[in-house]
Each structure stands twice: as C-alpha cells, then as structure tokens.
Amino acid sequence: MVDFTLGEDLEALRLSVREFANDVVAPVIGDYYERHAFPYDIVRQMGKMGLFGLPFPEQHGGMGGDYFALCVALEELARVDSSVAVTLEAGISLGAMPIYRFGTDEQRAQWLPRLVSGEALASFGLTEPGAGSDAGGTQTRAVLDETAGEWVINGSKAFITNSGTDITALVTVTAVTGVNPDGSKELSAIIVPNGTPGFTVQPGYSKVGWCASDTHELNFDDVRVPAANLLGERGRGYAQFLRILDEGRVAFAALGVGLAQGCVDESVAYAKQRRAFGKAIGEYQAIQFKLADMEARAHTARLAYYDAASRLVNGRDFKRQAAIAKLQASDAAVTNAREATQVHGGYGFMNETPVARMWRDAKILEIGEGTSEVQRMIISRSLGL
C-alpha cells in the first residue's frame, strides 16, 4: 500500500516551520522585500531552529535528517515567502551540500560546522554571463601554479545566490582547468573564500522578484587559492554539479509547491471575505472553479516532489522524477500566482499584498536550476529520444 502521509517526525517539522513562517516571517517580510534588504534576523532564527542542518549528519553539526525533511521545510516557508525559502534552499543544496558530498575530511571540518548551523552561508558559482544551462560554455579559467601550489582563477559568474551577504563565507566556483582527451573543456570545482584578494562581489541586482534574497555578479582577477581548495577530483566538476543540480531540483520543486499552495491559501481567505453584488465572491462558481483548479495543481505537484524526494533518500534513480517535479511545480506556481492575482482584482496588483509578491517571485522558478526547457530535455532523453 502506498501512503502519501508524512510520518510523525516530518509532520512535527512541518507544523513547526509553518508556525515560524506565519508568526515570524509573515509579519515582517513585506518590509524587507520592498527595501530589497536581506533578512538577517530571520536567517539567524532559522539557524537556531536547525533548518540549515536538516539533511546533514549529526557528526557535522547537522540534524541527522534527509532531503525529504528539507523539502517539507521549504514548502512551508515558501507558502509565506520565497526569498526566505530560496535563501535556505541555496544555502543547503548549492552551498553546503557540494562540500559535504565531495569535500575532503579537512574541507568538511573547516566549513561545514558554520554552514550547517546557519552562522555562515556558501554560494555556488556555475552560471556566467554567457553560460547558463550550457555549462560547457564556461569561460572562467583556473591555472595551477605548481611552484606556488596555488590555483590562479580569472573570470566572472552571474546571478549567484547568497554570494554577498555579511555572513557569506565562500563560493564554490566551476572553472576550466584544462582540456579533456576528446577536446572538450576539463571543468573542476574550486573553493574560494570570501575576502580573497582579486575576488570582487559586485552590487546586488535589481530583480523582479526574490527581492529579499541576495544575488550578485562575481568577478575573479588573478585570484589565488591553495591547490588544496580543489573540491573533489580534478576534471569532475561538471559531473559533480550535475548531481548537485538534480538534488536541487527536488528542493526547488518543493519551493514551487509552497508558492502554489500559498496562492491557494491567500485566495481562499480573500474569496470568503470579499463581497460583490451582495455576497462573498467565493460563493460564485467562477471563483470556486478557479480555486479548485489551483488546489489541484498544487496537490499534483506536491505528489511529484514527494516521489522524487522519496527516491533520492532511498538511493534510487531520481533524475527523471526530479525534472518532472521541477517542471510541474514551477508551472503550478506561475499559473496559480496569475490566478491568485486575478481573484484579488485590483488589490492583487498592489505590492503590499502577499499574492503580488508571489506573482513577482513565481517566474524565476521556470528559469533557475535548469529552465523548463532543460527539464523537458532531461525527461525526453530518459524516454530514449
């Protein structure tokens, strides 16, 4: 028998994060959002709750949970705000997870305790101005100075989350480190601590959404780091981060489901109290059917990420299911955000309302961590096409 209900521990986590999102995040996040300010106090409290350590073993200071636990937390946060949710998602799946998956014992001991406690954040530098989904177009280069025992890095990265906060500790950079026997670029991953000479964090972007999250362009001008900062095997950077991105897509799907469900929650509450032509608009079948479709989208996408997350934590192949979950969740989020804005009418067009923030936040879910087109490529290839 297949049971889609959460176990006792996950249900307790879900309720705890929901309470935090409703009581701590919801009352203040609108102000952070409009000021384009990073919510340090909220992040600090998430760290004290252990959220940044959810999928990591206790030996590294984590909570001993797994990716399913992370996804449940992300969904509940994103029901209220996506900036906070993506700060957690990127801090774990793109920041700390590469070091946990591929780092040496020394690298884990150096970085993980602060990252899993939320005292520090890490970022992941893959995307470049001319290389997004096509990671093979990477232009950033790292040359090994064998005499000095250092990597010398030159290039730039774009749209990097959590890269310029006061608590950002490092960025893991993918760079061309040579040429493979078949003539393709050899890509490797290298840890660059913040504050390293020649490493410059550019001013934050002016974004459509995720306005309370941290996103920057990064420049590297003869940046020197120890040869020991190589993360994983030389030449395996691309393969390593394909794995990281597959996992991240499951988490991204959970975030999208949270936004989609948040649109339902806000719209149902509004439809019950907004009156037109003598009765609540929720009594009109046109609104009822719109809300029914929104709930169906959120529910279907949730089942998709539950399946992908379950496969991931049980050691089964999950690449196709991750792509399906990410595709379905991002579509549900974008569609529900549009419909929620419509239900709210003029009020939905005012930035102070939660659905306006959700409308602005939704679109990036069809772009970040692999566009919807890339997800369709992954799915079709898994079908042998």
What is the Cβ-side half-sphere exposure of residue 325, based on CA atoms within 13 angstroms?
31
Q: Taking the domain 8-121, which CATH number applies?
A: 1.10.540.10
Q: Pinpoint the residues of the chain covered by CATH 1.10.540.10.
A: 8-121
Contact 157, 124 (CB under 8 A): no
Q: How confident is the model at residue 24 (pLDDT cuts 50, 70, 90)?
A: very high
pLDDT score for 108: 97
Confidence of residue 19 (pLDDT cuts 50, 70, 90): very high
Q: Which CATH architecture has domain 123-234?
A: Beta Barrel (2.40)
**110 vs 237 pLDDT, higher one:** 110
Q: Under CATH, to which class is 239-382 assigned? A: mainly alpha
Q: Residue 124 in 3-state DSSP?
A: strand
| 106 is annotated as an active-site residue | no
Q: What is the pLDDT of residue 1?
A: 54
> Is 88 within 8 Å of 39 (Cβ atoms)?
no
Q: Which of 150, 217, 247, 369 is catalytic?
A: 369
At 238-290, the pLDDT tens digits run 889 888 989 999 999 999 999 999 999 999 999 999 999 999 999 999 999 99
Q: Is residue 4 over pLDDT 80?
A: no
Q: Mean pLDDT across the chain, nearest whole number?
A: 95
Query: What is the structure's pLDDT at 17?
Result: 98
Q: What is the pLDDT of residue 238?
A: 84
Q: What is the pLDDT of residue 183?
A: 85
Q: Tens digits of per-residue pLDDT, 48-64?
A: 999 999 999 999 999 99
| pLDDT at 6 exceeding the cut of 90 | no
Whole-model pTM? 0.95
CATH 1.20.140.10 segments of the chain: 239-382
Percent of the chain with pLDDT over 90: 91
pLDDT-above-70 percentage for the chain: 99
When pLDDT is cut at 50, 70 and 90, the band that residue 118 belongs to is very high
180-199 average pLDDT score: 94
CA dist 125 and 200 (Å) reads 13
- Distance (Å) of CA 249 to CA 61, 155, 286, 297, 309: 25, 26, 34, 18, 10
CA 252 – CA 262 distance, rounded (Å): 15
The CATH 2.40.110.10 domain(s) of the chain lie at 123-234
pLDDT tens digits along 143-175: 999 999 999 999 999 999 999 999 999 999 999
pLDDT of residue 132: 75
